[in-house]
Amino acid sequence: MGKRSAAGELFLGNMGSIQRETRPSIQREDQLTMETKLEQIAAKARCEPKLRFTSLAHHITRDRVRKNLSQIPKWSAAGVDGQTVEAARRSFDGWIEPMLQSIHRRGYSAPHIRRVYIPKPGKMEKRPLGVPTHRA
């Protein structure tokens, strides 16, 4: 019998073989990385468009937020709170725990987005641009 496709494996619930097919050399089957888990969630969402996930909040962790914050360029514009990326990184330990607690108890609401209008090249019109805050 031939090898099943990744979609077939996903449908049958054999997520381990999908991990081997998509990222063969990254991790052992029993220790999936966060990125691999997110890839599996994305694959499942693509294969089953009517599927509704109950919660993905458990994937938002202190380390993941720190990693994503470290990937924001230093020259990024400040949001409505006026806080720079450097200030958000320095005060990380002060704001991360309350934010994670509010996310996990489903009481989190995202902060407002600062709206900026930038000129379109070669036109008199302006294009709206949303600038998020660096911390929540």
Q: How many CB atoms lie within 10 A of CB 115?
A: 10
How far is it, in rounded angstroms, from Cα 28 to Cα 43?
Answer: 19
pTM over 0.75: no
Q: Is pLDDT above 50 for 11?
A: no
The tens digit of pLDDT for each residue in 48-95 reads 989 888 888 888 889 988 998 999 898 888 888 888 899 999 999 999
How far is it, in rounded angstroms, from Cα 10 to Cα 49?
Answer: 13
| Contact in structure between 70 and 89 (CB atoms under 8 Å) | yes
Tell me the C-alpha to C-alpha distance, in Å, between residue 3 and each of 21, 104, 111, 136: 11, 40, 48, 46
The tens digit of pLDDT for each residue in 82-96 reads 888 999 999 999 999
Sequence ranges of the domains in the chain: 6-47, 60-131
